[in-house]
Chains A and B, each alone.
Chain A
């Protein structure tokens, strides 16, 4: 398989999207702070977007479908970042910490 012709294959993009998704999943499990988890969730959304764009380019009959979905995911990710960051600021005001263990004091 020609290494320089990889950009013309659907499977290349699917593999890249799967790896980005798995990196994000690992980060969600590993990270201790809310900001770290937010970064990992952005990676997950990005991996999904790469898959949508690849399918839209190579498989879908209408070439614009994948791009519309990717733009939609971008808008959702931006809204999610805004909401998550304001929650992080609110939690930081109350607990003086952005670690996920701090709000666990809430339970009983």
Chain B
């Protein structure tokens, strides 16, 4: 345990635990917080933790995109909507009925238990780790050759979503 390699491994393990805990704790805050702004902050923390997980899955490009798109665009847009559509007293959520809350908790705990059971019992055919797994260059090449259809679909979907949100947000203004 005194060689530098193992010390680095231990540091990486601690960092991984920090990222995993950040993802789970942020998700808990995002679901449980009464005020919506606090929930968005928890969501951003959870996204940061998931970006760390992506880095440990040896794909720093996707981790960077996670920070850029989710934290930089989606969270900021949600905060924008909270500011636009919320007066300060309506920003806190009153909880739903006890029965509904209990049903939701039981159902999601059931789904979680089923997924955990499947993850712990199934046997996967694991590949040996390749020397240069999933570098940015390979992602770019396969995005333009094997998966060019998904590349085109992403651009079309984003264009249609932009136009659709413009149309939807404008429709309400005509009525006023």
Among B82, B108, B168, point to the contact of A83 (Cβ < 8 A).
B168
* Residues of B bordering A, CB below 8 Å: 9-10, 12-14, 16-17, 20, 23-24, 27-28, 30-31, 36, 39-40, 43, 46-47, 50, 53-54, 56-59, 61-62, 65-66, 69-70, 73-74, 77-78, 80-82, 84-86, 90, 93-96, 100-101, 103-105, 107-109, 111-112, 115-116, 119-120, 124-127, 130, 133-134, 138-139, 142-143, 146-147, 150, 153-154, 157-158, 160-162, 164-166, 168-169, 171-173, 175-176
The complex places the Cα of A28 from the Cα of B30 at a distance, in Å, of 11
B139:A30 contact, CB within 8 angstroms: no
B39:A39 contact, CB within 8 angstroms: yes
The complex places the Cα of A34 from the Cα of B28 at a distance, in Å, of 18
- Complex interface: chain B residues within 8 A of A21 (CB): 111-112, 115
Among A65, A71, A85, point to the contact of B78 (Cβ < 8 A).
A85
A67:B59 contact, CB within 8 angstroms: yes
